[in-house]
Amino acid sequence: MSPTRRCRPKKKIKKSIDADAVIIKAAKILNCDPRRYRKALRISAAEKVNRDLLIYLLWQTGQLTNQQIGEKFGLSYSAVSRRVRIFKDLLKNNRKLEDQFSQIKSLIKI
């Protein structure tokens, strides 16, 4: 290698995930049906928390765009962005939800 040529650090390659499998596993732990989120015009507050948890879980992996996540839940990319922001605020203020999210994340091993 010549002295003028620099080596660039290698980027870490993230483990590829199967988004549908993640949704199914997490939904099973939450005891919810993610298909309902796509079909229903309105969902309850409890269902919103579960849906937002699933969205945030996928968003945190960094492997899907907001558009791709939105397609899985029947939402636009901007709605996904909003749901992520809302869920982040919920996590900051709700220790029980934070523990639940951490538990789900560790069980799924993302």
The interaxial angle of helices 45-61 and 19-30, nearest 10 deg, is: 140
- Per-residue pLDDT for the chain (110 aa), expressed as one digit of tens each? 455 555 554 444 456 889 999 999 999 999 999 999 988 889 999 999 999 999 999 999 999 999 999 999 999 999 999 999 999 999 999 999 999 999 999 988 76
| Contact predicate 34/108, CB 8 Å | no
User: What pTM was computed for the model?
Assistant: 0.82
What CA–CA distance (Å, rounded) separates 67 from 79? 9
Ramachandran region, residue 109 (left: φ > 0; alpha: ψ -120 to 50; beta: rest): left
